[in-house]
Amino acid sequence: MKTLTIRGVPDELHEALQVRARLNRRSVNQEVIAELAGGRGALSEEAETERKRKRAEEKIALAAKLRSGVTQFMTSAEIDAALSEGRGRL
């Protein structure tokens, strides 16, 4: 695999790459490679599958953590009341 060095990258472009990389859960280097390869998600299918798997595992862990704090279940009437009060929105 070859190495490419880019000099003189404007600060605002570097900051935009950092933001985009963070949103896509990649390093800046990986984000630049994805952009050069034809846009977001242009990495290998295997890498994309791995990214999705990790994200799913994070969501499952969060759900388990939230579920562990539940001491009793709500009745359907309590759920309806919470929704009508706007408490069902994230």
pLDDT of residue 36: 85
pTM: 0.41
Answer for the pair 82, 74: CB distance below 8 angstroms, yes or no: yes
34-85 pLDDT, tens digit each: 888 875 544 567 777 888 889 999 999 999 998 888 888 889 999 999 899 9
CA distance 13 to 11: 5
pLDDT of residue 89: 66
Instruction: Read off the amino acid at residue 35.
Output: E
Domain limits, the chain: 11-84
CA distance 26 to 20: 8
CA distance 56 to 33: 24
Which residues contact residue 23 at a Cβ distance below 8 angstroms, ignoring those fewer than 6 apart? none
- Counting beta carbons within 10 angstroms of the beta carbon of residue 7, is it exposed (0 to 12), middle (13 to 18) or buried (19 or more)? exposed
pLDDT at 90 over 50: yes
Instruction: Read off the amino acid at residue 33.
Output: I
22-38 pLDDT, tens digit each: 988 999 999 998 888 87
CA distance 50 to 32: 19
